[in-house]
Each structure stands twice: as structure tokens, then as C-alpha cells.
Structure 1
Amino acid sequence: AAIEEERRMLMKAVGRKTIMTALRIAQAVLIGMKVDGSLDATSWWRVMTPVWILVAYLCWYPIKKYINSTSAHRLLDAVFTAGIIVMLVAPFFLLADRLEGKRMSSFDIIMPWMLLMGVSFLFLFCAISLAGSEQLIQSGVQPTRRHAQSPPYRHDYVAVDMD
């Protein structure tokens, strides 16, 4: 029964990967045909249909995880995940809007990604500055309080507490 479950999950993962690959190939072909002039009457919003399908899947995934989650903060997890996904896919909507003729700078299109990177760097900086509040010994290994106070302490020796 466990092997059948693993087989079913593997088939599902392979099918999902195949669909995602087919969407990428279809997107490349559609963009090529639009740029070549074969799809002049078609709007960029229609040309980007494979991207919209992927966006729908990416937005559906946190909702599915929210429903199946046992986390104490599952709503918060789903909201933050959906927010990050919106920030990641917003430039595609802005790009399609610009390609349809709306006047917009390239900076405006990539602004959501830049905001996401800025917030990530801010969190990283805060984590590094808060984690580095204790003085480290020169070797880079921080001893536990018990071992740092007990003589003799060797800087080249790393002790592992099992308690």
C-alpha cells in the first residue's frame, strides 16, 4: 500500500512537471509567433495565456496548503505566501499592459521585484545584526556557557553537548 501511494505521488509530480514544461514551451512559441507577426490580431494578454495558467496554479497552491495545513498560524502562512507570489508575478501583468500600448517605464515593471529584494535584504541585515550581538571567539566557534567558564578551554576543540 505504501509503494502504491509513493507511485501515485510520483506520477502526480511527473504529470505536474510535464504540464509546466509544456506551458513554458507554448509560451516561447506564442511569443515568437507574436514577435514574428503571425499573431498580429491577437492581444498580448492572450499570448501570455500560459503565464496566466501558471499564475493561477501558483496562487492556488498556498490556498491548498492552507486548507490541508496543521500549523497554528496557517492563515498567516497562506497570506504571506500569497503576498510573495503576487509580488513575483505582478511584473508579468505590468509587462502585458505595457506591451498593449500603455506608457510605462521599465523601472515601473520591475518595481515589485525590487521591493521584494529590498525587504529580503532588510530581513537579512536584521538577522545578521541580531545574530552577531554576542562576541565570537577568533576561531568562529561559540562555546556554550558551561564550557567557556570551565578551565582549560581549547579554541581548536569543538565540544558537543548531548544533554
Structure 2
Amino acid sequence: MKRALAVCSIAWGIALISAAHAGGIYVTPDGAGARTGADWDNALGSLQAAVDASAADGTIYLAAGNYTNGPSGAPDLCAITNKTSITIRGGYAGTGTPGARGAGESVVQNPTVRIGRLLRARNTALLFDGVVFEGGYLSGKNSAGAGLHLTTCDATFTNCTFRGNHINSAQYSYGAG
């Protein structure tokens, strides 16, 4: 009986989390409230956290602002691997469901001259709409994609901008941006 109750409790918890993100995941540069991603008042605080929480065919909404906080010590600001399909839309005002766009840019950026790629994705279908990729920087002989490095991905970019992404001292350079 205890085992059945535990299994039911776990299943119910998973169902609640999935339902919370069924309408999309909301992200602001600094996060808000309980940081569940369920709405703007409880937005997650990083693109990576939103990707990790995203379900298959999920949509991530980015409020206008600068997104600079990747995993500590990680070479990539955001890594997406083996997700079925993710849509990332930027430029939201941060009110509504998801609300109005055009409030400014959603900039995924390397805030300093540290070596780091902005985004790496593998085995994923991606749609980016209204996102700016800025300041990716890599240095080294076989550097790949300072802004983006996509491997076996089906990617679509709409209303996106790539600025100031560069590789230094590369013999070969692969990737985008």
C-alpha cells in the first residue's frame, strides 16, 4: 500500500510539473517569484534552466533583456541535447500570456571577453524567433561556432541577429555566428 501511494504521489508530481509548462516556459534575465517558469511573475532566471525544464515540442518565452548566466564553469552559455523540438521566442514585455512583443531585444550574450560559446545544440529541432546572439568568443586551433554550434539539428531562425561573435587563432572553424 505504501509503495502504491508513493508511486501515485510521484506520478501526480510529474503531471503537475508537466501541466505547469504546457503553456510554455517564461524566462527573465534575473528570474522572478518562485522561479517555476509557469508565468512572468514566476519566471526562470536563465535560458539553460528553461531548456532543462522544457518538454517535447515546448516553447520558451524570453522577456527583453540580456541573458548572460550559463552554468558555472561551463564552456557554453546554453547546451541543448536530444530534445525533440524547442521553440525559443524573444522580445517579450514580460506581462500577459505570453503578452506583447517588441519591448526590446532578448540578447543571449557573453558579457565579458571570456572564452565561451553562446549555444551548443545536438540532435534537436530548434526554432528561434526574435533572439539576438552576441559576443560569443572562442580561441584555439579547432574552435567551432563561437555564437552557435549545431550538430545534427534542424534549425530555423526568424527575426534573429548575430553580432560580434568571433574565433581567434583557429586553423579550422565550424558552426554559425
TM-score, normalised by the number of residues in structure 2: 0.26
Q: Rg: which structure is higher? A: 1
| Structure ranking higher in strand proportion | 2
TM-score, normalised by the number of residues in structure 1: 0.27
| Structure ranking higher in helix proportion | 1
